[in-house]
Amino acid sequence: MKPQALIAGVHEFPERKTAKSMLEIQALSARAALEDAGLGKKDVDGYFTVAANPGIGPLPIVDYLNLNPKYIDGTTIGGSSFVAHVNHAAAAIAEGRCRVALITYGSTSRSSGVAVGTRERISGDYLDQFEALYGTSTVGLYAMVARRHMHEYGTTSEQLAEIAVATRKHASLNPLALYRDPISVKDVLASPMISAPLHLLDCCVITDGGGALVVVHPDLARDLKKPPVRLLGSAEAIAHTSGGRRDFLVSAAAESGPRALAEAGLSPRDVSMAMIYDSFTITVLVTLEDLGFCKKGQGGAFVSGGRIALGGELPINTDGGGLSSNHPGMRGIFLVVEAVKQLRGECGERQVRDCRVALVHGTGGALGNRHSGATLILGRS
Amino acid sequence: MADYAKPLPEITAESKPFWDACARHELLVQKCRACGTVQYYPRGVCAACWSADVEWTPSAGRGRVYTFTVTYRTQARGFRDELPYVLAWIELEEGVQVMSNIVAVDPAKVAVGLPVRVTFDDVKEGLSIPKFTAA
Ligand SMILES: [Zn+2]
């Protein structure tokens, strides 16, 4: 069954370091996204956000906003959460559980000094005693996948660096991006090694930030301010340690990508641009392979030669991505915001020409032990 | 050993046999009596068939590095004072992957496929943590 939902409004909180609280960021983003949709507070009847406070999920923000939603979802599966929320919102809308779903995110990682990538990765559960004892960090877990990819397929640090270079080029066209000065492959390789083979410039930035999305029933199309973006397909998956027998080079995207594309009745060739979660350069390389843009093992060649930059065959992360624009810890919401703006033709200097179909893929958790993947296929109206 | 600043395991009834064996310098994996699957990390059910009839079985403690990373920057307790260090997935001869550290080897000599064997870090009375070194 094709999903029956429209993305009617989006907003990205513009600041990269802010004095505002995470709740305030979400409130301002919610208001702006609803305004973008031509809707208001009274229209919201579904609420989706992550569990920033352990165990109680959306309760504080729904209280703060003084809302009374009929449908509530606090799915928290890492950075892909907000991409999965769109999938969940579409299902709730199709079932008649709500008509106007509001998805929000707010984080003050930078101003509160959280070292997102290099802090000790402790989950507080049973699994810690088999992993966290060994100095696991987010970057280390991704670095292990990069090392294995290099071993199996001869992928090079230069090829990974191509991803950071293309993304920075896009960031230079985004006035909101944290880092806008162009970089070269040499710069990436000369940046400090964090967890080999990943250098500093293979890693996403740390910022404050947030945003909001408004997903609505197709019946509301006439009431919206702008031509809505159509959700053509969506899917999610989880990849994990599998009892100790895991091919760590195959990510959850290998499951969710083909299912989302099949639902849309499209193939990777139909995709005009893609927003690919870029916690690290290796995340992008593995994801592009698993989504079917190239064969497994050929990601290194695929990302080279300008193919993924604006003007190339498959422009990705045109906002400058997590590598250069913003990454407050869970970046999925920005993937959707940028894809929607591209499909509406609102991206100015960084606009992808004749953008008809956008693919969004969020990765949450870590490729090197367990992670979620959520894919959306979006089409312009 | 009182100066071991790295994280320590929170041992529960479910994992106690594993840690008791480590204290004896023995690495255990599990085998399902219902379907025969060998698994790691240990848990109360078989990951393949969910049977609760899983038995502890000794591992030879030998394997190869499946992948690894040499970490130069981290906030992880204890490790931040011992940079660089090697975090790795090891594939045991029994066919299952184990996350651990490669110790007492020059990080520059660690490679995918390097043969390794288990070694135990005696952290305190009754607690030893399994790590790996060149075989
Ligand atoms: Zn079994």
Chain B nearest-CA distance from A204, in A, is: 15
What's the fold here for domain A6-112+208-228?
Answer: Peroxisomal Thiolase; Chain A, domain 1 (3.40.47)
pLDDT of amino acid A361: 98
CB contact B132 to A (< 8 Å): no
Percent of chain A with pLDDT over 70: 98
**Above 60 in pLDDT, residue A353?**
yes
* Span A133-150, average pLDDT: 97
Between CA B123 and CA B1 the distance in angstroms is 5
* CB atoms inside a 10 Å sphere around CB A313: 12
**pLDDT confidence of residue A2:** 62
pLDDT tens column, A90-127: 999 999 999 999 999 999 989 888 777 777 777 778 99
Looking at the DSSP bridge assignments, the partners of residue B127 are: B124
Tell me the residues of A at the B interface, defined by beta carbons under 8 Å apart. 115, 118-122, 126-137, 139-140, 143-148, 151, 192-198, 241-246, 248, 368-369
Name the average pLDDT for chain A: 96
Q: Could you tell me if residue B98 is left (phi over 0), alpha (psi between -120 and 50 degrees) or otherwise beta?
A: beta
What is the structure's pLDDT at A4? 78
pTM: 0.97
Query: Between residues B19 and A114, which one has the greater pLDDT?
Result: B19
Closest chain B residue to the Cα of A119, Cα to Cα: B75
Q: How much is the average pLDDT of B52-66? A: 98
pLDDT at B85 over 60: yes
Mean pLDDT, rounded, for A218-245? 97
Residue B1's nearest CA partner among B105, B116, B98, B78 is B78
Output the pLDDT for position A1: 53
| Of B40, B100, B112, Cβ closest to residue A134 | B100
Burial grade of A127 (CB within 10 A; 0-12, 13-18, 19 or more): middle
In A, minimum Cα distance to B72 occurs at A194
Domain parsing of chain B, residue ranges: 16-134
Least confident of A115-129, A141-155, B70-84: A115-129
Give residue A94's pLDDT.
96
Average pLDDT over residues B26-31: 98
How many whole angstroms separate alpha carbon A166 and alpha carbon A156? 16
pLDDT of residue A113: 82
Hey, which CATH number is domain A129-206+233-380, 2.60.120.10, 3.40.250.10, 3.30.420.40, 3.40.47.10?
3.40.47.10
Q: Residues A173-231: pLDDT tens digits?
A: 999 999 999 999 999 999 999 999 999 999 999 999 999 999 999 999 999 999 999 99
Confidence band, pLDDT 50/70/90 cuts, at residue A52: confident
Share of chain A above pLDDT 90, in %: 93
Q: Residue with structure tokens 């990508």? A: A257
Angstroms from B12 CA to nearest CA on chain A: 8
Q: For residue A151, list chain B residues with Cβ-Cβ distance below 8 A.
A: 67, 112-113
Angle between helix A138-153 and helix A281-291 axes, rounded to 10 deg: 60
pLDDT of residue A54: 64
Dihedral class, residue B23 (left if φ above 0, else alpha if ψ from -120 to 50, else beta): alpha
Question: What residues in A contact B11, CB-CB < 8 Å?
Answer: 129
**Out of A123-132, A297-306, B23-32, B97-106, which region has the weakest mean confidence (pLDDT)?**
A123-132
HSE-CB at A215 with a 13 A cutoff on CA atoms is 34
The larger pLDDT score, comparing residue A123 to residue B45, is at: B45
pLDDT at position A124? 79
What's the confidence (pLDDT) of residue A338? 98
Q: What is the mean pLDDT of chain B?
A: 96
Tell me what pLDDT residue A350 has. 98
Residue A316: predicted pLDDT: 98
Mean pLDDT of A166-178: 98
Q: Which of A123, A147, A369 to mutate to test the interface with B (most CBs of B within 10 A)?
A: A147
CA A370–ligand 1 middle distance (angstroms): 21
- A129-206+233-380 has the same fold as A6-112+208-228: yes
Per-residue pLDDT reduced to its tens digit, B90-127? 999 999 999 999 999 999 999 999 999 999 999 999 99
Q: Which of residues 99-118 of B touch A (CB under 8 A)?
A: 99-101, 112-113
Residue A330, pLDDT score = 94
In terms of CA atoms, which chain A residue is nearest residue B13?
Answer: A126
